[in-house]
Structure 1
Amino acid sequence: MRPSPPRPPRSAEPARAMRPASLAWRLGLSAVVAVILLIGQVHHTDEYFPFGAVAMFAQARDPEGTADDTCLEATQEGSDEPVTIPFGRGSVGIQRSDVESSLAAIRADPSRLQALVDARERLHPDEPPLTSLTVCVDRYTMRRGGPVGPPERIALVTWEVPR
């Protein structure tokens, strides 16, 4: 086998200084990203993700402890049987992490849940109106990082819908 011929040397051009306009737009973009990150962290919102907090992934879990899964449960007009209401823009107009990050405020003022009731009824006009809405958690017992048995449902705060 023949050895390959030597490569010609690359031309070693001296590094050029960055033009002021290039430097300005890079610094400006970095400042905008830093401000969005700061706002997301201070206000604990996921609106600017990936530049802000992601509440649902922000906490470490003990693989031998418990894990809570936030849920919504409601009663509808004409029935006392509770139904699980999914989170999401097409259901109640809000994501799970938004409720979790606002839970202290919702507990202090359960009437904040009326906005979710209104969104649900606007997005699902063919379904019976809600008479109550509960923020709850399904608490899972964990062993070796996996759930063991069915969850325990715990009501955190309930809003009785005024009619």
Structure 2
Amino acid sequence: MVPAPPVPAPGETGVLTLSPIGRRVRLAACAVVLALLLGGTVWGTDADFPFGPFRMYSTRADPDRPVVSTRVVGLTADGEEVRLSGGEVGLRRAEFEGQLARLVQEPELLVLLAESYADHHPAAEPLAEVRVVQRRYALEDGRQTGEVTESVVVAQDLEDTP
């Protein structure tokens, strides 16, 4: 059984007040947290979160810059395109985009995606090539103009891979 809280004596409010030192400690702690938040807001990056801004939510995109959509595809020997992004190989599109610079420097890593696809889809036709493709949608005043361009950022031929 939980003991009942003490009942204040007649004439007492039952409110405890902080000592002057306790108030100073709390004010100092608040000042430090506010300084970190302000500094992070002005000079911080996503890596400083929660004291830095999460740029995804704290900024807006230029309404006249193109929107870029990245995808990873495999090509069979017949030229059929097989989607590898979207969880087909255990990675989502954002994870591919986060590793894009590394994939450009080390295209042989795309072989691992083909192997993962083969492991998850044993009955599927083998892949001959893996590509990272970017599709750019042109915008004007935040509206799509209809102009769409596609480019292969990096590709890895799988024919010579053991």
TM-score over 0.5 for the pair:
yes
What does residue 93 of structure 1 align with?
A: 90
Which 4+ stretches in 1 moved above 6 angstroms? none
Shift in Å at residue 86 of structure 1? 4.5
Shift of 1:125: 1.5
What is the match of residue 65 of structure 2?
A: 65
Does residue 115 (structure 1) correspond to residue 109 (structure 2)? The answer is no
SS at match of 1:71: strand
Q: Equivalent pairs: percent with the same residue?
A: 22
- Deviation, structure 1 residue 122: 1.1
With the length of structure 2 as denominator, give the TM-score of the two structures.
Answer: 0.61
Equivalent residues, number: 121
Matches within 5 A, 1:46-61: 57=56, 60-61=60-61
Match of 1:31 in 2: none
Equivalent position of 2:37 in the other structure: none
Shift of 1:150: 5.1
Q: What 5-or-longer segments of structure 1 have no aligned partner?
A: 1-10, 18-39, 43-48
Q: Which amino acid in 1 is paired with 2:79?
A: D
Compute the RMSD of aligned alpha carbons: 3.3
Report the CA distance between 1:151 and its aligned residue.
2.2
Q: Deviations over 1:46-99 (max 9, x none)?
A: xxx99xx989x487422112111001122113x124x1515233x011121222
Structure 2: runs of 5 or more not aligned:
1-12, 20-45
TM-score normalised over the length of structure 1: 0.61
* Residue 124 to residue 60, structure 1, CA distance change in 2 (3 Å): farther
Distance 1:70 1:152 in 2: 12
